[in-house]
Structure 1
Amino acid sequence: MTTVTPSNTAAANAAGTTAAVSNSRATGFGGDFNTYLTLLTTQLKNQDPTKAMDAQQMTAQLVQFAQVEQSIAMNTNMSKLIGLQQAAQLTAAAPLMGRTVEVASDRLSLQDGQAVLRLPAAGTARAAQIAVFDNAGRTLHQATVALGPTAAAWNWDGKDATGRRLPDGAYGFSVTGVDGSGAVSSLEATVRARATAAEREPNGNLKLVLGGLVVGFDAVRSVDGG
């Protein structure tokens, strides 16, 4: 997995990794190409002079020969283009490093002992019930927050119900809306955290790292001003 951090050195690594894959594929195609050429020339050398290869058959094989060569060039060039595009995506993500980003996620990022959710404005729901979970699904912290006329942030200090401070990382959470009569409903909340890195997975997908939380770039909802 290739990563870009504030030092922004991984873009070159991304291009290098892609180039290595491209060279490997080109070698495979080249091997097939050379094998085909060897078979063709061997066939020509060993044919019966009294029963020479039909001209149309010879032409068809030469056409196949040209198609193999074109396929090698096309795949090599395509691999180079993909590698350049992926390296450019990593480079483009560098300005986000250190910025506060708002993302859609079902996990929040605890960084330096602080985690932040952005709650929506009051509507049918007048309050939000928030629960934070560990990886085993155990409830670590619960809170009930009144919703105001505008969206507002809710901060978690990274402590569980006993006051024990928990390590930084990604934690599950749920937010439930409660109306004036006490009826509950689903409520959407977004996560705010500091971008720390960007990673390109082996399948080419680009991911944004927010401390212990990793999300796709399609999950980004907003970025704080510089």
Structure 2
Amino acid sequence: MTAIPTNSTIDSLGLSVAQKSTASTQGELGQDDFLLLMTTQLRNQDPTQPMDNGAFLGQLAQFSTVSGIQEMQAGFADLANSLYTNQALLGSSLVGRKVLIPATTVTLAEQGTIQGQLPADAGPDTRIRILDAAGQPVRTLAPTRTENGMSFTWDGLDANGERLAPGDYRVETVGTAGNYAPGIALEMEVSSVSLGRTGQALRLNLANGQSVELTQVQQIR
């Protein structure tokens, strides 16, 4: 017959039936509740049919599993907080920097310039055309081939060399096949960042009022 633990043995472990669990007042079972139920079961079992060793070890294994899950949840919470902190540090370092993102509309600042890039598969006859808010072409540029593709810089002047007014302008590409847009990327300045929560990505708030996810950034300058 399997020995039945005595009250003195249980009490020596610091496990009293009179112990109260704070978790039960919250409507859920915690480690203390689980251990209290197990020790109460040991005290009140039938002496003629005591719990066998296999059942006892099974309950201990369940208790160990519950404890491990709680520790894992705490570890995930610590990891989430660490990732959030790293996201905040990364976001703060991007404020004031310029990023290259896919776009076809850009805001020209006072005395400002606009820089952009095309992918490497853009044809050699590709040209960049700048249009004003009314859709009228004001300048055509020939991009320069670089290691990362084809880049261009618009100095804010029209075809006659006169400074254009600040505002929004559209950028499109022109080739032998007509108008097409093979992945134009324009340079934008980051004015602030919004930290993502619950799986959301870090968002960059640009100087022209746009908001994009960090995953859309092709280059940080």
TM-score by length of 2: 0.61
CA distance in structure 2 between the aligned counterparts of 1:71 and 1:126, rounded to whole angstroms: 59
CA distance in structure 2 between the aligned counterparts of 1:115 and 1:40, rounded to whole angstroms: 74
CA distance in structure 1 between the aligned counterparts of 2:105 and 2:70, rounded to whole angstroms: 46
Flag as ranges the 4+ runs of structure 1 deviating above 6 A: 111-115
1:177 matched to 2:174? The reply is yes
Q: Show the counterpart of 2:135.
A: 142
Contact in 1 for aligned 2:173/2:180 (Cα 8 Å)? yes
Matched length: 174
Higher relative contact order (CA 8 A, sep 6+): 1
CA distance in structure 2 between the aligned counterparts of 1:112 and 1:33, rounded to whole angstroms: 62
Q: Show the counterpart of 1:123.
A: 123
Q: 1:62: Cα distance to partner?
A: 0.5
CA distance in structure 1 between the aligned counterparts of 2:106 and 2:88, rounded to whole angstroms: 22
Deviations 1:88-136 (A, max 9, x none): 23213322211222223x465648677946254983544345668xxxx
CA distance in structure 1 between the aligned counterparts of 2:135 and 2:117, rounded to whole angstroms: 15
When residues 176 and 109 of structure 1 are mapped into structure 2, their CA distance, relative to the original with a 3 A threshold, is: closer
Q: Secondary structure at the match of 1:191?
A: strand
CA distance in structure 2 between the aligned counterparts of 1:210 and 1:142, rounded to whole angstroms: 23
CA distance in structure 2 between the aligned counterparts of 1:107 and 1:184, rounded to whole angstroms: 13
CA distance in structure 1 between the aligned counterparts of 2:47 and 2:113, rounded to whole angstroms: 83
Q: 1:207: Cα distance to partner?
A: 2.3
When residues 67 and 207 of structure 1 are mapped into structure 2, their CA distance, relative to the original with a 3 A threshold, is: same
Deviations 1:58-85 (A, max 9, x none): 0111111112112212221232123113
Q: Choose the corresponding residue for 2:218, options 210, 217, 221.
A: 221
* More deviation, 47-56/143-152: 143-152
Superposition map of 1:201-220 within 5 A: 201-204=196-199, 205-211=201-207, 212-220=209-217
Superposition map of 1:16-165 within 5 A: 31-104=29-102, 106=103, 108=105, 110=107, 116=114, 118-120=116-118, 123-129=123-129, 140-144=133-137, 145-150=139-144, 151-154=151-154, 157-158=166-167
- Please, which runs of 5 or more residues in structure 1 have no aligned partner? 1-27, 133-139, 161-172
Structure number with bigger Rg: 2
Q: Secondary structure at the match of 1:49?
A: coil
When residues 213 and 117 of structure 1 are mapped into structure 2, their CA distance, relative to the original with a 3 A threshold, is: farther
Greater share of helix: 1
Contact in 2 for aligned 1:127/1:146 (Cα 8 Å)? yes
When residues 109 and 86 of structure 1 are mapped into structure 2, their CA distance, relative to the original with a 3 A threshold, is: farther
Q: Counterpart amino acid of 1:148?
A: A
Q: 1:192: Cα distance to partner?
A: 1.6
TM-score by length of 1: 0.60
